[in-house]
Amino acid sequence: MHWTLDQLALFIACVERGSFSAAARHLGRAQSAVSMAIANLELDLGCELFDRSTRSPTLTAAGEALLPEAHAVITQCQRLNARAHTLALGEEPRLVVAIDEALVEIPPVDATLEALATHYPALSLTLLYGAQGDVSGWVQDGTANLGILLSHERTPGALESHCIALLRQHWVVGVSHPLASLPHVTPSDLAQHRQLMMAPRRHPSSNTQAPPLSSQCWRLNSFYSMGELATRGLGWAIVPEHIAHYPPFRHRLTLLTSAALGEAPSIEVDTVTRRDAGQGPIATWLQQTLRERFRDLA
């Protein structure tokens, strides 16, 4: 066994980019070097990974079977390097944390920041607030060390995601909306009115969420904006509990409860970090403390 991590990374890149030439351009390598590396990998593994009889190489059955294994090896190596980097670090002198704007003014986050100020008074902290896609994007491009967000779309592949809490959600509608006057709201009733939903920020046209219940649907990238539109009678929505009880909305929204609707689905609070970046002791403490504070909220 003489294959290398570089060969595995090139194998993955060729699959993701669709061809040897595209992978070479993306990585700034000569195509001949990429082709030779793949050929040597196949020799070392004892099987062909690509069928080269077509214009663009396609994975063989062996290639299909070994691709997840290659991903697993690369991922584990990234974690090993990150862990070693973490052990070499002392306490971080500075930290950049990106926070989903939907988590503004929620007690567990505020309490954690207060505890952070007490435990690490010398830390230079930068807080960035944005939509879910902004948060993951800032972590992915290295602008932020840690992201805290409500998860409603797939996390980009370069990031490590950990669920730290599940937040209860509610079906809500403005107090003047026709649904607010119904004694027992059913899914059929909801289907007759406009639904307000979260829109993926990074890929607005993608459909990674559950399909809407209504054929009339508006998508937004902010739970607070969604709550505001709901108060104006522009549609019904599913929002986290703290949004439903947000002071400006509290007396302008009605919670829809009925046996036919049941409980609204909960939503995850996730922390995200780069898989290839080490986390120092303060970032680790911050994630653990957030988990504990959200547990106290439950």
CATH of domain 169-265: 3.40.190.290
Residue 37, classified by CB atoms within 10 Å of its CB into exposed (0-12), middle (13-18) or buried (19+), is buried
**pLDDT digit string, tens, across residues 6-45:** 999 999 999 999 999 999 999 999 999 999 999 999 999 9
- What helix, strand, coil percent values describe the chain, rounded to 5? 45, 20, 35
SS3 240: strand
Give the rounded distance of the alpha carbon of 262 from its chain centre: 27
Per-residue pLDDT of the chain (298 residues; tens, 9 = 90+): 689 999 999 999 999 999 999 999 999 999 999 999 999 999 999 999 999 988 888 999 999 999 999 999 998 888 787 667 656 767 788 899 999 999 988 999 999 999 999 988 888 899 999 987 889 999 999 999 999 999 866 666 678 899 999 999 999 999 999 999 999 999 999 999 999 998 875 554 444 567 889 999 999 989 999 999 999 999 999 999 999 999 999 999 999 999 999 999 999 999 999 988 878 899 999 999 999 999 987 6
8-state DSSP, 112: H
pLDDT attached to residue 13: 93
CATH of domain 94-164+268-297: 3.40.190.10
Distance CA 2, CA 40 (A): 9
Distance CA 136, CA 179 (A): 35
Residue type, 142: G
Q: Any idea which fold 5-88 has? A: Arc Repressor Mutant, subunit A (1.10.10)
Which H or E run contains 285? Answer: helix 281-297
- Among positive and negative, which fits the CA dihedral 148, 270, 168, 224? positive
DSSP 203-230: -TT---SPPPSSSSEEEES-HHHHHHHH
pLDDT attached to residue 169: 95
Which H or E run contains 261? Answer: none
Same fold, 94-164+268-297 and 169-265: yes
For the chain, the structural domain boundaries read 5-88, 94-164+268-297, 169-265
pLDDT attached to residue 206: 44
